Amino acid sequence: MRRISNKLKLSLLLSCIVCLWNCTENIDTSARYVFSEETILSYLEKHEAYSSYVDILKQVNISKLSDSKVSQLLSARGVYTVFAPNNKAIQNYLNELAEEGLISEPSWNGFPNEHKADSIRKVIVYNSIIDGGDETGAFFYTFGFPNDKDEFILGTLNDKKLSVRKPANQPDSIYINNDCPVSVKERDILAINGIIHQMEKVIAPKDITAASYIQECLDAKKDGFYACFRVIQACGLLDTLSKIRDEKYEELYQTGQIEDLVGMTSLGFAEGNTAYAPKHRLYGFTIFAEPDDFWRSEGIDPADPDLLQKLTQWILDKHQYSYDDHFTTDENYESEDNLLNQWITYHILPMRIPKGKLVFHVNEYGYSLSRPDNLTIPVEEFYTTIGKRRLFKLYESKQSHGIYINRFPIIDNERNGTGEEIGCDADKVGSLVDTESSLAVLNDMTNCNIYPISAPISYNDATRDNLTKHRIRFDGMSLFPEAMNNDIRLKKASEERYKHVYIPNTQRAYNYFENMQQNRDMNFVYYNAWNDDWCNLQRDEMKAVGRFEVMFKLPPVPRRGTYEVRYKVLANGNRGVAQIYFGSNPDKLPVTGIPMDLTLDCRNELDARLVGWERDSQTDDDVNAEIDKKMRNNGYMKGPKSIDSNDGTERDWNDRENIRHIFVRQTLDPNETYYIKLKSVLDSDRKEFYMDFIEYAAKEIYDNPERPEDIW
């Protein structure tokens, strides 16, 4: 993206305010720009190649809640990227509709009624415009388009993400949504309220679900993932994979019953004015699949009538399960107790993860967003699969040359180490996620992505053992599939509508995050600190204000054993004091320990003494180990060295308000679901709940006599 030039800024004389989605007022076009330059609309109107598109723009309302037309939007102040189809593209689209039998003739007269015609006009218009909002320069030149197979940061007026394809052997060719070419000559046309790219084909995604896509592939016996899809169908997962959106939430939002949180500062939040409620509650999935060629290499034909039985036997022979698992091997594949069902559901996450968000590179040690391709230390994400709840790890490092599932390398994690990957045993390499091959299905479905993988994956004993030996640190927002499915988590935009996201109150409005429950006396906000230098894991944080009582469902542990559970706090005086409850019965969670003081800030000398925080020695690691031991005896740990900011890492002097609270040390079972509840103990409605990340550490990590836990 490029900012509008100062010359253009100075030429702004008058503007009109456009209320796009949340008001019913018409746009006042009497105060348009007075320029020698063109608005997007005026440019389109002066060029015959866009006459059909202009006609449609003047007929389509901005939204269900507005009588204003999109043409008015493009004539007024704004920052828009417009993928404008030329007349030939629109006519070809009508030809396609006629060939498919959807209209009687390839013209607007061929529609059976005006309602059908209007729906097609909306398809053409809503999918052609990206609204950059209030951020100056938030439009997209072609040189600023995403990388090949990546999506634009912002959605269209239809709240859809467009993707980009850049063929390697055609340097000037750019396609939107795989097959819609951007004109080579008519692109990057700068107007005073945005930019225009002429399209040679209408962008009209079909909104096909994963279930429909898989069924089409099965009916056609399409090679690629045929074996995987046959297993998915046999296990009764197509109904699950057909989910697109929560229609109840859609109705509540459209009728104004889901409201934004206005006046955050007056409610007790330290910053921000308005937190915006999500427009939708979408569902999504990601499937990581062994390709058909892999099964052929194993001697299994994807088209074999006995595929399901042969795959079951292969899973048994290759020990793709754990001795702790309880399973059946009959043909009741839809049962969660069935071995084949357990195996395939370990391949599926309950969120649609785009290529650029499989892992997050934000503020890990040594990394800079200004040099996004210069990777440093490893980053990883932990998620919970569908079906039987199991832990799933995604990983990338500078040395891995790609994103892997369940990779467990050797890390230089000594106190004075680099934190980087320095080797990987052959049996711990994991499975490479292929984001580049033609097999990857990234834009064909509205609710799912499918990634081919280089090696089979399963929740077998090796995976469980490796996870148990690994400290499991998960960002708070990773607990909520809705955060990924609705493009809330770590959106690369700092505009207010993305910076503060209000999660509707469970009791007052709707339970938006399935894995979270709130009481009535709190307001919960996700703070997306994309361009802010916060010393949190990935910078973002979750906060609530009020007499809060909030409960989260946690990921499963990999093995039965004794674990520490830790809660990281970036402390300050705005925080509250919370009693923690932890257990497996959400209706009767037992109290754990004394209340957690979220205000404990080791920049304060008294708090530092209470916690046991001391500055690290630059020369004596034994002294530093003693400091860590003293803090642990008090129930605390310093923040990890792996998280960086301009002031230093979370262990450093300038960031000593970062503290990990050890609040649980007990036996946990992988077959149990655990919950954490935090309840304010203060008589105040102006104190903050805060959450960054939670950690699981098995006893062999935190109490290992041969190798103490690392500081990373």
Q: Are 132 and 80 in contact (CB under 8 A)?
A: yes
- Percentage above 90 pLDDT, the chain: 86
| pTM of model > 0.85 | yes
What are the start and end residues of each CATH 2.60.120.260 domain in the chain? Answer: 482-702
Give the whole-angstrom CA distance, residue 190 versus residue 43. 10
Q: What is the mean pLDDT of residues 96-125?
A: 96
User: By 3-state DSSP, what share of the chain in percent is helix, strand and coil, each rounded to 5?
Assistant: 25, 25, 50
Decide if pLDDT at 11 tops 60: no
Residue 444, pLDDT score: 87
Residue 27, pLDDT score: 39
The per-residue pLDDT for range 175-192, each reduced to its tens digit, is: 999 999 999 999 999 999
Q: What is the mean pLDDT of residues 618-637?
A: 95
What are the start and end residues of each CATH 2.30.180.10 domain in the chain? Answer: 6-199
Decide if pLDDT at 636 tops 60: yes
The per-residue pLDDT for range 243-294, each reduced to its tens digit, is: 999 999 999 999 999 999 999 999 999 888 999 999 999 999 999 999 999 9
Q: Which long-range contacts does 334-340 make (Cβ < 8 Å, 24+ apart)? A: 334/234, 334/235, 334/236, 336/387, 336/388, 338/235, 339/312, 339/315, 340/231, 340/234, 340/235, 340/308, 340/311, 340/312, 340/315
Decide if pLDDT at 648 tops 80: no
The per-residue pLDDT for range 443-479, each reduced to its tens digit, is: 889 999 999 999 999 999 999 999 999 999 999 999 9
Q: What is the mean pLDDT of residues 157-162?
A: 92
Q: What is the mean pLDDT of residues 77-105?
A: 96
Select from 3.40.50.11540, 2.60.120.260, 3.40.50.300, 3.90.1150.10 the CATH code of 482-702. Answer: 2.60.120.260
Give the whole-angstrom CA distance, residue 41 versus residue 122. 17
Helix (H, G, I), strand (E, B) or coil at 561: strand
Task: Please report how the helices 210-219 and 226-234 are oriented relative to each other, as an axis angle in degrees rounded to 10.
Answer: 120
Residue 599, pLDDT score: 94
Residue 496, pLDDT score: 86
- The answer for residues whose C-beta is within 8 angstroms of residue 30's C-beta and 6 or more apart is 16
Decide if pLDDT at 120 tops 60: yes
For residue 168, what is the enclosing H or E element? none
The β-bridge partners of 664 are: 565
Give the whole-angstrom CA distance, residue 514 versus residue 481. 8
Residue 8, pLDDT score: 32
Q: Residue for token digits 């004091």?
A: 577
Select from 3.30.70.120, 2.30.180.10, 3.40.30.10, 2.40.40.20 the CATH code of 6-199. Answer: 2.30.180.10
Q: Provide the sign of the torsion angle of the four alpha carbons 350, 354, 359, 365, taken in this order.
A: negative
Structure tokens at 288: 């990581």
Q: What is the mean pLDDT of residues 106-112?
A: 96
Decide if pLDDT at 1 tops 70: no
Q: Strand runs (DSSP E) across 309-390, as ranges?
A: 348-349, 379-384
Structure confidence at residue 495 as a pLDDT band (50, 70, 90)? confident
Q: In what order do the strands lie in the sheet with 402-405?
A: 379-384, 391-397, 402-405, 431-432
Residue (of 404, 400, 456, 398) closest to 424 by Cα position: 400
Residue (of 235, 185, 210) closest to 344 by Cα position: 235
Q: What is the mean pLDDT of residues 595-616?
A: 94
Q: Are 33 and 192 in contact (CB under 8 A)?
A: yes
- The answer for residues whose C-beta is within 8 angstroms of residue 141's C-beta and 6 or more apart is 1, 2, 188, 195
Structure confidence at residue 19 as a pLDDT band (50, 70, 90)? very low
Residue 135, pLDDT score: 75
| 595-598-602-605 Cα dihedral, nearest 10 degrees | -60
Q: What is the mean pLDDT of residues 291-301?
A: 98
Residue 21, pLDDT score: 34
Decide if pLDDT at 33 tops 50: no
Structure confidence at residue 26 as a pLDDT band (50, 70, 90)? very low
Question: Which letter, b or e, does each residue of 493-514 get, where b requires 16 or more Cβ atoms within 10 Å of its Cβ?
Answer: bebebbbbbbbbbbeebbbbbe
Give the whole-angstrom CA distance, residue 129 versus residue 178. 17
Mean pLDDT, all residues of the chain: 92
